[in-house]
Amino acid sequence: MLYYNIDKPSRKVSLVEAVMRSASEERALYMPEKIPSLDSSFFEHFSEMTLQETAYRVTEPVFGEDIPAEELRNIIERALNFDIPLVKLFPDIYVLELFHGPTFAFKDVGARFLAGMLDYFAGSINNEIKVLVATSGDTGGAVANAFAGKKNIKVVILYPSGRVSFIQEQQLTKAGENILALEIKGDFDDCQKLVKQAFADSKLNEEIVLTSANSINFARLFPQSVYYFYSFAQLKKNDYPVVFSVPSGNFGNLTAGLIAKRMGLPAVKFIASTNINRSVPLYLESGKFVPHHSFPTISNAMDVGNPSNFRRILDLYSNDIEKIRADISGFWFTDEKTRQAMKELYTRYSYIADPHTAVAYLGLKEYMKNNSCTGIFLATAHPGKFPEEVEKTLDKQVTLPVSHKTTSYSHHRKMAADYRLLREILKSSF
């Protein structure tokens, strides 16, 4: 399978390149040249399959030419070693809980799959890979945990000093010996600038194999298609039609749903549910895409004014807005509405949702006002990750299911936002 960069479609690259290069070419969005349809035997048997088997059957047609079957199965077993339950709240309303991974957010799915894949590539190119990533909090934790202990890979994570929560800092600094957390005296933009400088440093990139674990990476995005099939398979024919409501920021999760549909998933509709960072719902309404600076909200992992995967969606539908509207409806909500939804979920269904999940519920409800269907809304984070907001809104204490496991080992340095220092660290074998 070859991959094209949607900005330069004529130049095609291998999977290894598409996965490794999404670092060096800024905002390079790769897509596979074909999106295969799954065969009917898959749909006849998918309701009997485990999550891991579903994952294999969905990813094999895309990755199978580049990764041997046994390796792909290994990657899946290690990456998806947690449950993704579909919880029924009401006869026609379900919530798909994507937050049972080690860092309690759906980003574990993509980050763990990518880690397994890079580990396999590192072995096959016989070289150590260095992964560099800047984080404002959540992504870093999922990446650190996913790559911990991978022996051919070293990870450097930059985070802004004093701007991440205690739990997040623990997840970053105590993940494992191959993960080095650099606390940068500066803000998130300073961190990101340093990362960009490193990727633009061609001399450095000749000396070491440097890559990124950012969320536009296709190997992080595509495995998320799996849980759309897995959850759909648990419904019965008389539940159809089925819609998914996806709480969206960078739109990787929703794009994975659209790819699933292209592979044959018979979902009728996807709902792009956002907070006031609403450039995509407004696009669906007006036909014009106007990116904006991000506004802070209580569902802060979705505070994205210019979602990077939006262009992937345009590409998938050849820029045809009518076709896009046929598959996606969009709604956006204020923090006040989000808090009301958290209360409603709790009083009606005794369900405690985090703010991101509550936005997805709102989008589904809005859609179901005028359409009869079975709705699945995606729960992207455990409420215990946002204890202050949940306690303030529901007057109820929430905790994470287990105290977060970290090693006693701390691999952490505090440094100025100085590229020369970062460069030395990347060249060393820390």
105 binds ligand PLP (CB under 6 A): yes
Instruction: State which residue, 209 or 301, has the beta carbon closest to ligand PLP.
Output: 301
Instruction: State which residue, 186 or 249, has the beta carbon closest to ligand PLP.
Output: 249
Which residues are CB-neighbours of 271 under 8 A, at least 6 positions away?
Answer: 243, 244, 245, 246, 328, 329, 330, 331, 360, 363, 364, 366, 367
Helix, strand, coil percent content, the chain, rounded in steps of 5: 45, 20, 35
381 binds ligand PLP (CB under 6 A): yes
> What letter represents residue 394's amino acid?
L
Cα-flanking dihedrals φ and ψ of residue 121, to 5°? -65, -40
Nearest distance in Å: CB 381, ligand PLP: 4
Q: What number of chain residues touch ligand PLP (CB under 6 A)?
A: 15
Nearest distance in Å: CB 251, ligand PLP: 5
State the Cα–Cα distance between residues 371 and 363, nearest whole angstrom: 12
Instruction: State which residue, 205 or 308, has the beta carbon closest to ligand PLP.
Output: 308
Residues 156-215, interacting with ligand PLP (CB under 6 A):
none
Nearest distance in Å: CB 224, ligand PLP: 8
Instruction: State which residue, 263 or 280, has the beta carbon closest to ligand PLP.
Output: 280
112 binds ligand PLP (CB under 6 A): no
Nearest distance in Å: CB 343, ligand PLP: 19
> What letter represents residue 319's amino acid?
N
Tokens of 194: 């340093």
380 binds ligand PLP (CB under 6 A): yes
User: Which helix (H) or strand (E) is 51 found in, with range?
Assistant: helix 51-63
State the Cα–Cα distance between residues 212 and 172, nearest whole angstrom: 16
Residues 293-312, interacting with ligand PLP (CB under 6 A):
301-302
Residues 117-146, interacting with ligand PLP (CB under 6 A):
138
How do beta strands 93-97 and 86-90 pair?
antiparallel
> What letter represents residue 416's amino acid?
A
Instruction: State which residue, 72 or 302, has the beta carbon closest to ligand PLP.
Output: 302
DSSP-derived secondary structure for 116-174: HHHHHHHHHHTS-EEEEEE-SSHHHHHHHHHHTT-TTEEEEEEEETT-S-HHHHHHHHS
Nearest distance in Å: CB 248, ligand PLP: 4
Nearest distance in Å: CB 294, ligand PLP: 12
Instruction: State which residue, 105 or 316, has the beta carbon closest to ligand PLP.
Output: 105
Nearest distance in Å: CB 111, ligand PLP: 11
Instruction: State which residue, 98 or 422, has the beta carbon closest to ligand PLP.
Output: 98
Which residues are CB-neighbours of 169 under 8 A, at least 6 positions away?
Answer: 159, 181
Nearest distance in Å: CB 117, ligand PLP: 18
103 binds ligand PLP (CB under 6 A): no
Q: Which of 356, 361, 377, 384 lies at the binding interface for ligand PLP (CB under 6 A)?
A: 356
Residues 210-269, interacting with ligand PLP (CB under 6 A):
247-253
Q: Around Cβ 380, how many Cβ atoms within 10 Å?
A: 27
Instruction: State which residue, 129 or 353, has the beta carbon closest to ligand PLP.
Output: 353
Tokens of 132: 């560099």
Q: Angle of helix 138-147 relative to helix 107-125, nearest 10 degrees? A: 40
Q: Which of 21, 107, 130, 174 lies at the binding interface for ligand PLP (CB under 6 A)?
A: 107
State the Cα–Cα distance between residues 253 and 220, nearest whole angstrom: 10
Tokens of 109: 């799915």
Nearest distance in Å: CB 256, ligand PLP: 8
Nearest distance in Å: CB 249, ligand PLP: 4
Residues making contact with ligand PLP (CB under 6 A): 105, 107, 138, 247-253, 301-302, 356, 380-381
